[in-house]
Amino acid sequence: MSENKQNTSVVSDSLNINIDKQLKIQKVLKIVKNVIAYIFLSFFAIFSILPFYWMIISSLKTEAVYRQSIPTFFVAPADMQWSNYSYVINDGEGLFGTMLVNTLIVGVISTALGLVITILCAFAFAKMEFKGKNLLFSILLATMMIPGELFTTTNFITVTKMQWARSYTVMIIPFLVSVFYIYLLRNAMKQIPDSLYRSAKVDGCSDMKYLIRVMIPLTAPTIISITLLKFIGTWNSYIWPRLVNSGSLEWQLLSNWVASGFTIPGSSETLSTLKMAAATMVSLPLLIVFICFRKYIMRGVSKSGIKG
């Protein structure tokens, strides 16, 4: 009996040693994996930040320093040219203020109207029952496979015939509806149990009342994400305003302002430092918005992609 007990204790001790050894190995492997992952992510994070760093540091240089054969990449300029920013604001007879107002007006109105259309369409496809709903939704999804250039061409022909050029209407109406945003919000609404909708209908709640009091609060992260993405898209809009309002800088947006002007007086040669200053002024607000609201964007997109 004593020998069996000794053998059993020896076996249990060896098992405990093996288990402890395996736990230590797993712990070390986990630490190594985390270190490799953080190094990998840090490398690409720095790599993605470098263009913004180069844009900002270049905007504070003189043109002569910027055009040196050996650029000063990691060294801040000895004499920072903060005057570059005041110059680009005042350049072009106050076009910065005009295009800023245009961008805000178009951004706010198109985002508000587009959000209303997106919410109503997503609710209809998610909760309401009507004939041909699935077919209509499939057709809408199929339009996402059409290249955007085709939409640009057909929209341009349409607005030209309707004589909408040089107006806020031409920059707002053609892109109010986004099938992708409808699809995104519809998926978020599909995650809310249908039993909740049926119970509300039994209690005499109208569809609009249910949408405002129940669906919108429950899908708020996705709606916030759509709002931010829609406004950012308008802020960055370049091709469409330049196409429909060509020859009239007063009816274009901030992205068009960055691409215009900033040349040496009496010459067509571009001053790159002023271009960088203008690009920084346009990019910085979006960067601040993304940093402040990134958790809402990530949460909204992740929630919308769980169930389709």
Share of the chain above pLDDT 90, in %: 11
d(CA 140, CA 200): 29
Evaluate whether 59 touches 276 at the Cβ level (below 8 Å).
yes
Q: What is the pLDDT of residue 213?
A: 87
pTM comes to 0.77
Alpha carbon distance 47, 142 (integer Å): 36
Residue 119: predicted pLDDT: 93
- Would you give the DSSP letter of residue 144? G
Helix (H, G, I), strand (E, B) or coil at 110: helix
The tokens of 103 are what? 């961008």
The residue ranges of the chain whose pLDDT is under 70 are 1-18, 74-78, 91-94, 261, 264-268, 299-308
pLDDT, tens digit (0-9, with 9 covering 90-100), for 296-307: 777 666 655 444
pLDDT, position 258: 80
What pLDDT was estimated at residue 245?
A: 80
